[in-house]
Amino acid sequence: MKPITSSWIKRILLLCLVIFISYALYLNSLVKAEFSSDIEPIEDVIQTEYSFDDYPKDLVNMLLLVEDQSFFNHHGVDFKEILRVVYGYLFDKKELRGASTITQQLIKNSLLSRDKTLTRKTKESLMAILIELSYDKKFILERYMNTVYLAQQGSTAFHGFASGSLHYFNKDISSLNLKEMATLVALLKGPSYYNPANFPDRLKKRVEMILSMHKNYKRII
């Protein structure tokens, strides 16, 4: 059997590079197709588009504190947070938790399944980097806040903070008080798990945590 020469190694590496670039271009086409147009209406989904500048700054700050404190500093994937989570799990015996950025969550919610596989996570990370190359942070945050799942009533789903505000409080989002804003942010982690009708104590505890963070942590926005 002949040994693998350096020229063959170069050819293999070049082939791998071509495959990776082709795959990245394919993923980028999916990202552009999804986000280059307005939000498409979906049957049985109540969704209200709201301009980022019209969202209460306190609400945006709570969201970033809880979900992605480095949002304005990373490029789609927060590698420092991933290392922090892995280190805490391996050496400090901390519970393994998610380290997805808001950008990654938007990609998952819009384009991918919720399968917990390495393939899906890799695709999510690549697409998160790609969307940040084409769209600014303000667009990404606005799209996320307008589309994230917040409630279910029968066959009807409520997506976005503006729709969630009307569903839970019968208020325009601009009229919410701090506790109501914290409630919407709390529900992101699981609208069923923190359902205010079924688990009020569970929801109250998380709302209090978010209000404490909003009061004591340095503001992000």
CA nearest 146: which of 38, 47, 32, 57?
A: 47
Selected residue with higher pLDDT from 8 and 163: 163
Q: What is the mean pLDDT of residues 147-167?
A: 94
Q: What is the mean pLDDT of residues 184-200?
A: 96
- Sorted by sequence, the CB contacts under 8 Å of residue 62 that are 6+ apart come out as 181, 182, 185, 210, 213, 214
Q: What is the tens place of the pLDDT at every residue in 35-75?
A: 998 887 788 888 888 899 999 999 999 999 999 999 999 99
Q: How far apart are CA 207 and CA 27, in angstroms?
A: 37
Cross-sheet strand order for the sheet of 149-153: 45-47, 156-159, 149-153
Q: What is the tens place of the pLDDT at every residue in 107-132?
A: 999 999 888 788 888 899 999 999 99
- Sorted by sequence, the CB contacts under 8 Å of residue 100 that are 6+ apart come out as 108, 124
Strand, coil or helix: 29: helix
pTM summary value: 0.90
Percentage of the chain beyond pLDDT 90 is 72
Selected residue with higher pLDDT from 69 and 89: 69
Give me the pLDDT at residue 94, please. Answer: 63
Q: Confidence class of residue 3 from pLDDT cuts 50, 70 and 90?
A: low
Give me the pLDDT at residue 85, please. Answer: 67
Q: Does 169 have pLDDT greater than 80? A: yes
Structural domains for the chain: 41-216 (1.10.3810.10)
- Sorted by sequence, the CB contacts under 8 Å of residue 12 that are 6+ apart come out as none
Give me the pLDDT at residue 59, please. Answer: 98
Give me the pLDDT at residue 127, please. Answer: 96
C-alpha separations of 131 from 74, 79, 106, 167, 199 in Å = 12, 17, 10, 30, 36
**In the predicted model, what is the mean pLDDT of the chain?**
90
Give me the pLDDT at residue 32, please. Answer: 95
Give me the pLDDT at residue 194, please. Answer: 97
* CA gyration radius, the chain: 20
Q: What is the mean pLDDT of residues 187-192?
A: 95
